[in-house]
Amino acid sequence: MKNLRFCAGCGTKLLIRHKIKFCSNKCQCDLEYKTNIDLWKKGRLSGGVGITARNLAAWLRKYLIEKYDNKCSVCGWNKKHPLTNVVPLEVDHLDGDSENNLEKNLRLLCPNCHALTPFYKNLNKDKGRKWRMKKYIKNF
């Protein structure tokens, strides 16, 4: 009798020999997404990517889009771009610190609402430059 294997993501029986752990790539990605969200909510994953963690991870952005139902959290705007067919929403850090990726500090905003926040782009001058200077001086 052969060893029965089940998909680690959805639990379906794996009938094809070369399917070792997952029934499909989609199932594998779905499990990875759920695991990342769980770890992030428990504080064991930062949600940032890169050396300085200044960029938001794609799975975290996807979570915020699902949480806010693909709408601006302030005005409810959800018009899709005619070419990309995507709502151009931006992630806003309420305290202005791009390294603070806690759920209570993040929200999705349309470009108009985001432009009216106190920490939008260059209005956050002094807070975002120090880490760059430390990085550049360290590399010389």
Question: Which of these, 77, 75, 76, 111, lies nearest to 92 by C-alpha position?
Answer: 111
The answer to whether the pTM exceeds 0.85 is no
Query: How much of the chain exceeds pLDDT 70, in percent?
Result: 82
CA-CA distance, 67 to 90, in Å (whole number)?
14
Top pLDDT among 65 and 131 is at 65
**pLDDT given for residue 55 in this prediction:** 84
Question: Mean pLDDT, to the nearest integer, of 80-90?
Answer: 94
- pLDDT of residue 66 exceeding 50, the answer is yes
Strand partners, 37: none
**pLDDT given for residue 47 in this prediction:** 87
**pLDDT given for residue 133 in this prediction:** 64
Instruction: Report pLDDT digits (tens) over 89-120.
Output: 999 999 888 888 999 999 999 999 999 998 88
* Residues constituting the chain: 140
- Mean pLDDT, all residues of the chain: 85
**pLDDT given for residue 122 in this prediction:** 65
According to the per-residue pLDDT averaged within each range, which of 4-13, 72-81, 89-98, 126-135 is highest?
72-81
Question: Which of these, 74, 109, 106, 105, lies nearest to 89 by C-alpha position?
Answer: 109
